[in-house]
Structure 1
């Protein structure tokens, strides 16, 4: 009796090796069956659908939206505030994220044919952009707090030179937090990518050729356990809880200050702040809640059906979290009046450029006819 096993963890590969060794050492004469980790069929089906449709839409919308934000802030903003610089960095992080997403999806569904260096760069850049984007959002909330609550010290505290130092510090922190990703992601030929066969009396063993993958790999089970717990814990702490706490504290003070002001534009700004917080929580709270449960119960034995349900929930909520890179340009950019004005200017300039080229082409054609 044989069972096909498909997993994405090198820690499970270590367990599988031990199972095969234990069976090889035994001298039993009866038929044997290797029982491996759960196959997660439902999760795989859901992942296939999400990768084909939802992730494709995320990549397209995220690419277009963040490109517009980068062009607008880089070329059409003469005076750039601290918030403008932070938004530009968020757009860069989100753009790099959506560019890496198709390759990550392909690796998860199929294999990774591009080698070790590309594997580490892909996963490492994904992690760096995740941390930098979330920390930049926290910086924006602090900047809004200083601009509104401490308006009398506004220009002294918000010097542009400090802004570039803060952005550099955030990117360095993101790289440091991503070191485990750069170290432990490997390009290798997994044992769990094959159908593992155990010889019995009735049939001969067969072995299918594995494909190379880009996944975390560990030399021993203790390192695997440590990293498997530490990596999501760091992600939860610095890419969700820290930005969330900063946003709640800063924006609560901002809302209180704005509500006291009898000004239509101030009250409109309150709704913008609420939209920012609600969108962030809606996108990231479900995924991080499931990730927290998955981390806490990682080494608890669950029935395959229950484990499959939780892995499916993790896949779905992760896709919801990915949507934030599409909504960031809308929430932080398109809502602003100045941004919309500059965006209209982009399309006007493109239209004028197109008309000028059309006139030049017509003039050249007329000259050739004469």
Structure 2
């Protein structure tokens, strides 16, 4: 698409301005950052996330039984991340080009994207809570930690993620923006005669609804999808580190480093983007010039990509870093070497004791 028609998802968020406020739309330029981030970096994220999370799911399905609450949470995190990366290519395509798949696919794609985002982040908070109970509250862990409880919690999280995603399902529409009929050349408008360009973006019936949703949805994402999991992780892992530091045990001190890596990676991936999202939400209804909007759009694209990287790192941080999980992971490659067999028979390691007293942080 040429620069005069390269309207992106960030600009369509201001679609109601064309109807209610006399501002001309800003044709964001396809600079080199957006061109690289869109098709190339996101493709790498999709491939790595698809491979890593598929291996986690495959390991739990064929080689490792879910014997603890952490196992159940890890499996659900992998499922959420896998669905997330499967939806990502379509999201990127929609932001770079037009949306050809119609209304139903538009709503399902954007809605499922939101559901997987919330569920994945809340599952990470559940993992930190489970580690806190297993290590800090070890005496009560056998009573509090059970597979039935973890499955109920996961089901509640998925239902809650679906509930908070209802506005996304409802207000995303497949439509042709009104400013697609106009091309702006140095402040002069001309009629556009090319084929209509449909998008899958927010669409509102009135400015009051637009104001509520465009503030409410990002605010909910910030509160529930980032700050709540972050606070839970900081509280739980701080208590875990204090408890492990009291133990004169090499494995426990090694576990402290693992905990710190988990928290720091989470903050490094998600904090910059969420701060930018907070800034964008605060200034959403303030009129700014096109250069500032273009700079913010570029920064949001880059920081959002950094946040997306976390779905690729989750399998490394939460699954493959564990000694037991790595042994199961090696079995996958051992069986994949036997391609001459009629099928790959699922092989399980001898069942270990399920006592988790916190001597290591392996999952």
TM-score (norm 2): 0.87
Tell me, yes or no, if the aligned pair for 1:67 and 1:95 is still in contact at 8 Å. Answer: yes
Deviating beyond 6 angstroms after TM superposition, the runs of 4 or more aligned structure 1 residues are: none
Q: How does 1:142-291 map to 2 (within 5 A)?
A: 142-196=129-183, 207-291=193-277
Q: How does 1:1-370 map to 2 (within 5 A)?
A: 6=7, 8=9, 12-17=14-19, 36-41=24-29, 45-78=32-65, 80-196=67-183, 207-351=193-337, 353-356=338-341
- Distance of 1:16 and 1:259 partners within structure 2: 59
Change (3 A) 1:220 1:19: closer
Tell me, yes or no, if the aligned pair for 2:180 and 2:192 is still in contact at 8 Å. Answer: no
What stretches of structure 1 of length at least 5 have no aligned partner?
A: 21-34, 359-370
- Distance of 2:13 and 2:253 partners within structure 1: 53
The Cα of 1:204 is off from its aligned counterpart by 8.5
- Distance of 2:192 and 2:252 partners within structure 1: 71
Q: Mean alpha-carbon deviation: is it higher for 207-216 or for 327-336?
A: 207-216
The Cα of 1:140 is off from its aligned counterpart by 0.2
- Distance of 1:141 and 1:206 partners within structure 2: 54
Report SS of the residue matched to 1:169. helix
Change (3 A) 1:126 1:206: closer
Tell me, yes or no, if the aligned pair for 1:7 and 1:192 is still in contact at 8 Å. Answer: no
**Larger radius of gyration, structure 1 or 2?**
1
Change (3 A) 1:277 1:159: same
Q: Mean alpha-carbon deviation: is it higher for 71-80 or for 82-91?
A: 71-80
Tell me, yes or no, if the aligned pair for 1:195 and 1:207 is still in contact at 8 Å. Answer: no
Report SS of the residue matched to 1:66. helix
Report SS of the residue matched to 1:111. coil
RMSD: 2.3
